[in-house]
């Protein structure tokens, strides 16, 4: 499954689509939408060294060599992907023309593609886009380079195989944790989370999603705790003077760590606070929809705790202040998501849904993912 992402799947079968365009990318109507590549009417069986010669496709998305050369190859699909990506990022195609003749002239002559500067995209995203839109197919990115490009991150694409890999990494992390090799454990936990978060993003089954959420939150909580232990050990090792056993470690009273200690005897509140910490992590990693989900869980539970059985006082005030902060965060993230939904030309905020070859499952395919804000 992990290697069945759209173009990879098609190339593994030596198939060139020849007519990639937004109209041929279908959005499912499921609760967690994913995309499918459709309309293989122009598709052709082409091995790496094979060429085609007949004119086919939609001019706006056709590669220059299809107009200029008597023979072209499957790399025309990479140009089409570049045009689609450009359109997703900037809200229009690279070339605007009043007539087909004018369009073909711009595609085939020396006209340079203009990349708007008023839309912020990451350097890896810009690198991929510019390499896809090379007019000379010999200078264009190859399929192998495309599949390995870091901006696409196919390595962590959600699949059963990667789920098992994530669990193995976290199991190894737990073993290292038990043996007190904390730095190695942190690295393994983080490596496992890199696979688990995409799985959580696209999981459609409610029960499986709940289970994944709990695992992600648990592993993140332990990773944070281990980082604190490592930091404390390093600070202690760097102190050249003897410290009294009565010395108290300073913790910012406005931090979530402080609240966790204050409510250490109430595991349910600590768990709710950890949901908020997980939300902050998801927000920092640009997984905004997941961030909102975790914020909602944390806020709902903490509000319930403050309303039932918690007497007025400093502890309750600090908890209410944390709720207010996370409410503001959640509202800000929701505003960003709504803005992007209204205007796709606004810088993308979250990974795009998988794009699957027609007939494949959503976990098996993807052309590209949209960039994160920098």
Residue 328 CA from chain centroid, whole number: 23
Q: Which residues pair with 72 in a beta bridge?
A: 52
Q: Helix 123-132 to helix 76-90 angle, to the nearest 10 degrees?
A: 140
Residue 250 to residues 99, 165, 221, 243, 332: CA-CA distances in angstroms? 70, 38, 20, 14, 31
Length reported for the chain: 374
Q: Would you call 148 a catalytic residue per the annotation? A: no
Among the listed residues 237, 213, 218, 223, the one whose alpha carbon sits nearest the alpha carbon of residue 287: 213
Number of C-beta neighbours around residue 112 at 10 A: 8
Number of C-beta neighbours around residue 99 at 10 A: 8
Dihedral of the alpha carbons of 326, 328, 330, 336, in degrees to the nearest 10: -150
Task: Please pick, among 19, 73, 77, 177, the residue that the annotation labels catalytic.
Answer: 19
CA torsion sign for 26, 30, 33, 34 is negative
195-199, Cβ contacts within 8 angstroms, sequence gap of 24 or more = 195/156, 195/162, 195/163, 195/165, 195/166, 195/169, 196/163, 196/166, 196/170, 197/282, 197/285, 197/287, 197/290, 198/156, 198/157, 198/158, 198/162, 198/351, 199/158, 199/162, 199/163, 199/166
**Which residues are catalytic, by number?**
19
């Amino acid at each position: 499954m992990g290697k069945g992402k759209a173009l990879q799947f098609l190339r593994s079968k030596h198939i060139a689509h020849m007519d990639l365009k937004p109209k041929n990318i279908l959005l499912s109507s499921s609760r967690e939408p994913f995309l499918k590549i459709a309309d293989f009417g122009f598709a052709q069986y082409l091995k790496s060294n094979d060429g085609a010669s007949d004119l086919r496709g939609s001019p706006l998305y056709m590669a220059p060599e299809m107009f200029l050369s008597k023979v072209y190859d499957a790399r025309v699909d990479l140009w089409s992907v570049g045009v689609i990506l450009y359109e997703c990022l900037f809200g229009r195609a690279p070339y605007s023309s009043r007539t087909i003749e004018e369009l073909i002239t711009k595609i085939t002559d020396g006209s340079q593609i203009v990349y708007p500067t008023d839309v912020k995209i990451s350097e890896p995203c810009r690198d991929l886009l510019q390499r896809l839109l090379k007019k000379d197919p010999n200078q264009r990115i190859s399929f192998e380079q495309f599949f390995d490009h870091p901006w696409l991150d196919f390595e962590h694409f959600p699949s059963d195989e990667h789920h098992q890999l994530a669990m193995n990494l976290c199991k190894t992390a737990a073993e290292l944790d038990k043996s007190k090799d904390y730095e190695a454990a942190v690295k393994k936990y983080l490596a496992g989370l890199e696979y688990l978060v995409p799985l959580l993003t696209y999981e459609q089954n409610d029960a499986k999603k709940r289970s994944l959420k709990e695992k992600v939150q648990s592993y993140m909580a332990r990773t944070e705790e281990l980082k604190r232990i490592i930091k404390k050990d390093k600070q202690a090792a760097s102190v050249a003077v003897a410290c009294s056993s009565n010395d108290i470690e300073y913790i910012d009273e406005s931090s979530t760590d402080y609240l966790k200690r204050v409510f250490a005897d109430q595991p349910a509140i600590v768990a709710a606070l950890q949901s908020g910490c997980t939300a902050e992590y998801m927000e920092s990693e640009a997984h905004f929809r997941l961030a909102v989900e975790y914020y909602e869980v944390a806020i709902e539970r903490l509000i319930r705790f403050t309303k039932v059985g918690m007497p007025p006082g400093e502890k309750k005030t600090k908890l209410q202040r944390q709720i207010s902060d996370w409410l503001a965060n959640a509202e800000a993230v929701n505003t960003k998501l709504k803005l992007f939904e209204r205007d796709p030309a606004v810088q993308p905020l979250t990974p795009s849904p998988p794009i699957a070859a027609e007939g494949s499952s959503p976990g098996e395919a993807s052309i590209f993912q949209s960039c994160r804000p920098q």
